Amino acid sequence: MGTRKYSSYEQIDRELEILKIEKEISLQKVRLEFQGIKENLEPKNIVRGIVGSYVPSFPGKYGQIISIALPFITKWLFKKRGF
């Protein structure tokens, strides 16, 4: 961004307001990304990711049964462990 010339204080104020809004949008994006990372690093989501990647390798009804039972099993395990 090069040097800009302004002909009035209104232009300067408008530019500052735009920059302020852009800064707030960037901060909100960072917060949202951080929240997503934080959720992905929760133990239950890590287990779901690991086990969920193996479920498609089970043929037919076994894969369906595992994919249905998996949320209940992980919830039970994490309650028992205190996560």
Using alpha carbons, list the distances in angstroms from residue 31 to 24, 51, 56. 11, 28, 33
Predicted pLDDT of residue 28: 97
Predicted pLDDT of residue 3: 86
- Would you write out the chain's pLDDT as a tens digit for each of its 83 residues? 678 898 999 999 999 999 999 999 999 999 999 998 888 887 777 777 766 665 566 667 776 777 777 777 777 777 776 65
- The model's pTM is 0.52
